[in-house]
Amino acid sequence: MNLHHLLKARAAAGRPVGVALIGAGKFGSMFLCQVPTTPGLEVRVIADLDPERARAACRSVGWTEDRIAATDFVTDGGAAADHPDVEVVVEATGHPAAGIVHARAAIAARKHVVMVNVEADVLAGPLLAEEARTMGVVYSMAYGDQPALTSELVDWARSAGFRVVAAGKGTKYLPAYHAVTPDDVWQHYGLTPEEAKRGGMNPQMFNSFLDGTKSAIEMAAIANACDMDVPADGLLFPPCGVDDLPHVLRPRSEGGVLQGPGMVEVVSSLERDGRPVFRDLRWGVYVVIEAPNDYARACFTQYGLKTDASGRYAAMYKPYHLIGLELGISVLSAALRGEPTGQTRGFRGDAVAVAKRALKAGETLDGEGGYTVWGRLIPAERSLREGCLPIGLAHGVKLVRDVPAGAIVGWADVEAREAGAFAVRRAMERAFAPVAAVAE
């Protein structure tokens, strides 16, 4: 609880923490909003494919013209990562392949990396984290985003001596959402296309939240950071409010929905008939813990925790997350403490591409939130054993054979590629493959 004091000391010494931001979209803009009110933190360079759009983003969040003029704007993320006045690189493009390139450039330049780009992290995070450790820099999840906040709750629970039974987040979900495309996404958000356009909202990106893809990616990130298990055939998305977390998110053997203890799961803010869940957790994160003994179980009740009927299982949760507005915590933790706010450490869960409709040979996949595929969470061991295509690689690749609606797309279903993100992913698989997959 001393980040602010450490930052004040840096500011007083005239050595502000220098940051490079790659990607000035919504997440990046929310971070930029907080920079002027965080003395001792300075964004030295912003990389974006459209520098004028990035400058406009700075103006929209309240930056003065003097601050804008003192900031470098570039189109090359690699150049931003190598900026001499930068300690921490924030990768916020949301593009998996670009994220890997930028992270590796930052690590090679011995800069800390805050990976807002969860898509890239799930694709190759274990390898990137290991490369960062080798170079003596921090590779971190982004505080304010749900994976880092959930990982923080898991770390709190384990450090306090509790067994973690379940962890995850809330979202708005119905089974029909898996087939939604960017053409009809806004009706589910209660917006018109014109309103969304005025707000600068990208329909494909927002659709990745709705169709289940983002949930799969984020739960894979939590599983890989916290050594947790994932459901064998995808997330269940049970309707559940905060009061029912310890009842619903316990093992099936105890009356809950989980295959076993230590699972990641996402709860829906909607009942299956579309009615809102009472006291939903749509914007929040949670952890379900188990009392290690009868004394702790009694304390749960004495101090007002919501428990299941047995009193053994209880939940802690955070009802909101502020994404980029909280990102400074990760930046400062890396620069001032040398610690990540959550970090991928292994390969336990994978987000794989599933056909939204019957796909034909010759069609080109369009990635997260698009018209062709959505992302499903499965165990990494299964992904490797069955040759499943990661959703992060389902960008601009052509199918070489038909794929039925609802089927997982495999490596054998797409044109072979050996370079770039494909090669990095294969290297990660070889280095971090689960034991069961290696045995196969």
CATH 3.90.1210.10 fits 349-439, yes or no: yes
Alpha-carbon span 395 to 186, nearest angstrom: 23
> pLDDT per position in the chain (440 positions), as tens?
799 999 999 999 999 999 999 999 999 999 999 999 999 999 999 999 999 999 999 999 999 999 999 999 999 999 999 999 999 999 999 999 999 999 999 999 999 999 999 999 999 999 999 999 999 999 999 999 999 999 999 999 999 999 999 999 999 999 999 999 999 999 998 888 888 877 767 899 899 999 999 999 999 999 999 999 999 999 999 999 999 999 999 999 999 999 999 999 999 999 999 999 999 999 999 999 999 999 999 999 999 999 999 999 999 999 999 999 999 999 999 999 999 999 999 999 999 999 999 999 999 999 999 999 999 999 999 999 999 999 999 999 999 999 999 999 999 999 988 889 999 999 999 999 986 555 44
* Global confidence as pTM: 0.95
Which residue stretches of 203-244 are H helix?
203-210, 213-226
Contact between 365 and 372 (Cβ < 8 Å): yes
| Beta-strand pair 263-268/163-171 | parallel
Alpha-carbon span 247 to 194, nearest angstrom: 42
3-state secondary structure of 202: coil
Per the CATH hierarchy, to which homologous superfamily does domain 3-144+324-337 belong? NAD(P)-binding Rossmann-like Domain (3.40.50.720)
Stated as kind and residue range, the H or E segment containing 351 is strand 349-355
E strand residue ranges, 40-194: 41-47, 72-74, 88-91, 112-115, 139-141, 163-171
Domains in the chain: boundaries: 3-144+324-337, 147-173+212-320, 349-439
List beta partners, residue 351.
377
Long-range contacts of 232-236 (CB under 8 A, 24+ apart): 232/259, 232/378, 232/379, 232/382, 233/378, 234/376, 234/377, 234/378, 235/265, 235/266, 235/376, 235/377, 236/265
Contact between 373 and 342 (Cβ < 8 Å): no
| Beta-strand pair 395-398/364-366 | antiparallel
Fold agreement between 3-144+324-337 and 349-439: no
3-state secondary structure of 298: helix
